[in-house]
Chain A
Amino acid sequence: MNTTTLAPAPDPSSAAAPLAACAPWTCPFCSLLCDGFGLQDGDPPQLLGSDCPRATKALAAFARPAAPVTPSIDGAPATLEATLDAAAARLAGARQPLFGGLATDVAGMRQLYRLANACGAILDHAHGDALMHALRPLQDRGQMFTTLAEIRTRADLVVCFGTDASNYPEFFRRCAPTANSELQRRTVFVSTVPPAQAIEGSSVETVTGQGDLFDTAATLAALVEQRRVSRPAPELAELADALRAARYAVLVWEPAQLPAHGALIGETLLRLVMSLNRSTRAGMFALGGLDGAQTANAAMTWLSGLPLRSRVGPRGLEHQPLQYATGRLLAGDEVDLLLWVASFGPNLPPPPTGVPRIVLGHPTQAPHCAEKGTIFIPVATPGVNASGHLLRADGVVALPLHAIRDDGLPGVADVARALDARLALVAEDAR
C-alpha cells in the first residue's frame, strides 16, 4: 500500500506510464479530490499508487462501451440536436421544473443556473438531505471548520463521531501526520466501529455512545462544558477531558450518516467545538459533498446568494431547505418536469417518477432512461473525459480536473448552454 500523498514520478521508460503524466490527476469520485495518484491508460483506466476501493469501483464504469451510447427520446435513439430540441420543448412547456442530481462541476453549475433562470426551476442535489444536515446548523449557528493540511500538521486528537469514514477511503491517509512529526495523535471512534486496518500515525480507540447519536452528542457536549451530567459513561467523560486537554482537537462527522433531524446533531457538535475554542483550539471536519454536492451548493450560493433547495421564481429566489427536497417534491407532484444531472458515474440514476425526465447522465445510465417520458443525453465526466473544477469537502480548496481522454461526449455545461440558447429562441418567438 502506497502511503505517500505524492503522485508517482512519471517514468517515460515504463510501459505503465501514467496517462496524466503532464499533470497530476485529480480524482473526482469523492470530495477529498485526491491528486496524489496516477492513472494508467486501460479499458477501464487503472489507479496507480492507491487501492482506494471507491475510485477503483468508479473507474470500472469507464470501460469503453462496445458501441457508442447515443442520446435517446422516450427510449428511441436520436441525434444530439433532435434530443436537445425535444428537451428544450419540454422545458419550455414545464410550469415548475426541478433540476435534481446536480452531480456536475463548476462549469456545469454556472450554465445550469442560467438555464434555471430561463425556466424558473427549483434546484436540489441528489445528496440534498445530507447537505441540509450540514447547512442548517450553519444557517442557525455557524461553523467552526478545519482543513486537511491543518489536521495533518496540528491535530493531536481526532474524534470520529458516528462515522468510520469508509465512504472516504483515503481520509485517514490524507490527514496522517508527516513522518517526522512529533504529534502523538489519538483517533477515537464514537458510536461506531473503527476501520479494520491501522490508522497511520495514530492510536485508535473506541468509545461506545450513551444512548443514540443525539443523546451521545448532547452528553459529550455537556461534559465538555463541564455541566452536571447524571451518571455519564466513564469513557465519554474521559473523552471530554481529553478534548479539553488537547492542543488541537478535530471532530469528524458525516452528515449523510445521520438520521432524520441530523442537523440537530451537527448543531450540538458545533456547540461543543465552540465551547472548546474558549480555552483551547479545535475544529470540525464534515465528510460530505459527494458527487459534486459541495461544488453545486457553493456555486449556486455565490451566483444567487442563496444555497441549494432554492427556486428561481418570478419574484426572485426562494429558499426552502425542507420543502424543496427532491423526494418530497416528486412524491407530492409539486413539479411537472425533472432535469436530472449525474455526470460522475452509474450511481445516482434518476429517481423513478411519473413526471417527464430529462437526464444528463453518465453513459451507463442509459438503461435507466429508456422509458417513455424520458430524454437521455450522455455527458462527459469531469476528471475522466472532460476537464473541469470541483470544490473539496472542506469547502476551501478547489482543484482542476484533467481529462485523460476524449470520448466525444458533451459536458453538462455544453448541454445546458445549448438548451438555454433554444429556450431563448422560444421566448423570442413568444414575444
Chain B
Amino acid sequence: MSTIRLRGGQVYDPTNGIDGELRDIGIRDGRIVELHPQEKVDHDYDLAGCVVMAGGIDLHTHIGGGKVNLARMLLPEDHRARRERDNLLELASGGCCTPGTLQTGYRYAEMGYTAAFEPAMLAANARQAHMEMGDTPILDHGAYVMLGNEEVFLEMLARGEDFERIRDYVGWSINASKAMGVKVVNPGGISAFKFNQRKLDVDENHVHWQVTPRRVVHTLARALRELGVPHPLHIHASNLGVAGNIESTLATIDALEGLPGHLTHIQFHAYGTEGPKKFSSATRQLIEKLKAAPNVSIDVGQIIFGQTVTASGDTMRQLANADLGSPRKYVGGDIECDAGCGVVPFRYREQSYVNALQWAIGLEIFLRMDDPWRVVLTTDHPNGGPFTSYPHLIKLLMDKSFRDEQLARLHPDVAAMADLREIGRELSLYDIAIMTRAGPAKLLGLTDRGQLGVGAAADIAVYREQADREAMFATPEYVFKDGTLVARRGRLEAVPTGGTHFVEPDYDPAIEKTLERHYREHMSIDWRHARISKDELCSCSNHGSLLPCKLHGGGRT
C-alpha cells in the first residue's frame, strides 16, 4: 500500500484535543502514521484552505434489514427521480428516504462518512441485516440487536429468573446475532401490542407478562455493563411521539439508576402538554435532567421538512400513527415472538404546528446541551429525514442567521413562541467534529476510529473551508477509507467493501439449554440456526473485514 501525506490542513481532532491546528497527517497501509517532513511519499495532497476531520460515524441510521427493505417496497415513488449513470464505479441504485444499499454507501461516503450503525436489528432478521449492510459499500457497519420484547426475555423476567441467567442470555444474543450492542424499543411494548395492549407507561405492567418497562430497561442496562459491552443500552423509550411523553423519558432515565444508557432520537421523546394545542417543547426539563445524569448520552433524531418514511420496531406507536401517514400507506408486522416492525410514510410540513415544533425542539436540544460528547448528530435516518440532509442540519447548528431565516418560515405560533429564537449559540467546527465522529466513536468503544492520532485507521474527510457550511459538508474535497481515496469532490474514486464491527461478550453457555427448549416449543427454526458463525457472517456481509471490538474491563467479572 502507498504512503500519503495530507499537508497543511486545519485539523479538528477532538479525541486528541486538536482544535483547528495546521498540521500534516501521514498515512501508510491504511493507518495514520508519523511521517518525517522529508520522507518521500507516493501521494502528497496540499490541503491549504481545507478542514480535516476523521471520517463521519453515524451511530443511528436505519440502513439495513427487513423493515428498511419493506419501506423501499412501500415507496417506489421515492425512486422516480433518476440520474444519469456517469460513473462506472457505481451500480444503479436510487432513492432518497428509502435508498438502496448501494446508494446508501455511495452517498454517505461522498459526504465524508465512513461508518454507519443500524440500530434495530431483529435477532430473527439478523442475517438479512448483515447482508444489507454488507451490500452497503465503502462504509464500515455494525448493528444493535433489539432485545426487551422477546417472549423468552419477558418470560424470564416474569418468573423471577436470576439476573445472572438473564445476563447470560443477553451475552448469548449479542454473540448469536453478531451485534455491536443492544437496543430496546418501547420496552415491553412491542410484545404488549401483540396482546392488544395499546399503551404502556414506564411503570405500567405488560398485560400478559406483568413486567414494567422500568424493569426491562434496568435489567438490560445492567447486563450490558456487566458484560463489558462498550456501547450503553440504546434506548428508544416508551410513548414515542405522544404529547407529554417527557414524563416517560425522565422516568426511563431514572430507571437506569446511574447505569450507562443512550437515549436515541430523543427529539421524539421530549414533548410536554402545555399551550392551547396541548403539545409543547419539554427541552428545558430534558436538558436539566441530562445535566444531572452524566451516565446518559443522546442522539437527537432531528426532523427535516419534506417527504420521508418512518420505520421502527415500535409497532404499538407506529400503528397509532398510521392514519397520519402521507402518502397513506402502512406496513406492520408481528415478528417471531421476538419483535415487530411498523413503517409509516411521513411528510414533515413547515406549516404544521406539531412538525414545526418538533423541528425547533431538535435544534434546541443540540444547542442547549452543554456537553457535546454526549450528543450525537442524527436525523434517525430516515425517520426524521434522510441522512443526506446532514449538511443542512450542520448549517442550522452553525449559523444563527440561517436558523432564524428558517424559523421565520414555520407555523406562525412556533415562529413567534419557540425558545429557539432566544438561543444565540452557534456550534463550532470542533463541536461538529465531536458530534459526528469523536463522540460516536467513544460511545461505541471504537478506539481507533473517529480520531486522527497515530495508529488510528485512516478514515479521513477533508472539506474545503467555506462560509456556507451546507455546501462545505455536502461535498468534501477528499474522503479516505482505510487510507484509500474513495471520493473526490462528490465523485467516487473507489468502492471497497466495508467491515463489520461486533462485540463478543463472555457468557455461561449453560443458558443454551433454556434457549434450546424455548426454540423447540415456540420458535420456527432449528435452535442451531439461531447463531450466526463468523464464517457465515463473512458470507452475509459480503466478505468485508470482521472487526471485533474490545470489551470494557475485559468483559464479565
Contacts and interface: CB of A to CB of B under 8 A. Distances in A.
A167 to B, nearest CB: 18
B102 A303 contact: yes
Contacts of A110: 135, 542
A409 to B, nearest CB: 18
Interface residues of A, number: 68
Contact of A142 (B66, B85, B100, B330): B330
Nearest to A279: B196
A50 interface: no
A143 B194 contact: no
A135 interface: yes
B329 A281 contact: no
Contacts of B343: 142
A64 interface: no
B100 A302 contact: yes
Interface string B100-128: 11110000000000000000001011011
A305 B94 contact: yes
Given A314-B84, A391-B128, A178 B102 contact: no
Interface string B512-550: 000000001111111111000000100110100000000
B66 A315 contact: no
B98 interface: yes
B223 to A, nearest CB: 24
A111 B175 CA distance: 29
Nearest to B527: A6
Interface in B334-367: 334-338, 343
A150 interface: yes
A113 B526 contact: no
Interface string B45-87: 0000000000000000000101011101110101100111100
Contacts of A396: 66, 122, 124-125, 128, 333, 335-336
A277 B331 CA distance: 12
Most buried by B among A302, A318, A396, A400: A302
A315 B335 contact: no
B525 A397 contact: yes
Contacts of A389: 127, 131, 539-540
B296 to A, nearest CB: 32
Interface in A384-420: 387, 389, 391, 395-400
Given A149-B523, A281-B194, A317 B94 contact: yes
A26 to B, nearest CB: 7
A399 B332 CA distance: 22
B94 A399 contact: no
Given A283-B333, A304-B93, A396-B122, A139 B196 contact: no
Contact of B329 (A140, A175, A315): A140
A277 B332 contact: yes
B417 interface: no
B91 interface: yes
Q: How large is the interface on B (under 10, 10 to 19, 20 to 34, 35 or more residues)?
A: 35 or more
Most buried by A among B76, B194, B540: B76
A191 interface: no
A247 B196 CA distance: 8
B380 to A, nearest CB: 19
A347 B417 CA distance: 68
A399 B76 contact: no
A40 interface: no
B151 A153 contact: yes
Contacts of B128: 298, 391, 396, 398
A117 B124 contact: no
B247 interface: no
Contacts of A6: 520, 526-527
Given A23-B528, A146-B333, A304-B92, A314 B74 contact: no
Contacts of A114: 91
Contacts of A398: 125, 127-128, 131
Interface in A119-143: 135, 138-143
B319 interface: yes
B529 A35 contact: yes
Interface string A15-43: 00000000110100000000110000000
Contacts of A23: 528
A305 B93 contact: yes
B381 to A, nearest CB: 14
B188 interface: no
Interface string A150-165: 1011100000000000
B69 to A, nearest CB: 5
B135 A152 contact: no
B148 interface: no
Contacts of A106: 131
A146 B524 CA distance: 12
B83 A316 contact: yes
B440 interface: no
Contact of A306 (B76, B83, B85, B542): B76
A60 to B, nearest CB: 24
A359 B329 CA distance: 39
B526 A303 contact: no
B73 A301 contact: yes
A344 interface: no
Contacts of A5: 520, 524
A107 interface: yes
B99 interface: yes
A315 B337 CA distance: 43
B132 interface: yes
A174 B524 contact: yes
A147 B526 contact: no
A145 interface: yes
A305 B336 contact: no
A143 B66 CA distance: 13
A317 B99 CA distance: 12
B323 to A, nearest CB: 10
B130 to A, nearest CB: 9
A315 B92 CA distance: 9
A90 interface: no
A312 B127 CA distance: 26
Interface string A203-225: 00000000000000000000000
A368 interface: no
A330 to B, nearest CB: 23
A150 B542 contact: no
11 contacts: A142-B330, A143-B70, A143-B333, A147-B335, A153-B522, A302-B101, A303-B93, A312-B92, A316-B83, A317-B79, A396-B335
Interface of B: 64, 66, 68-70, 72-74, 76, 78-79, 82-85, 91-95, 98-103, 122, 124-125, 127-128, 131-132, 135, 151, 193-196, 319, 329-338, 343, 520-529, 536, 539-540, 542
- Per CB-CB distance, the 8 closest pairs between chain A and chain B, nearest first, are A305-B100, A316-B82, A148-B524, A305-B95, A398-B127, A24-B526, A142-B330, A149-B524
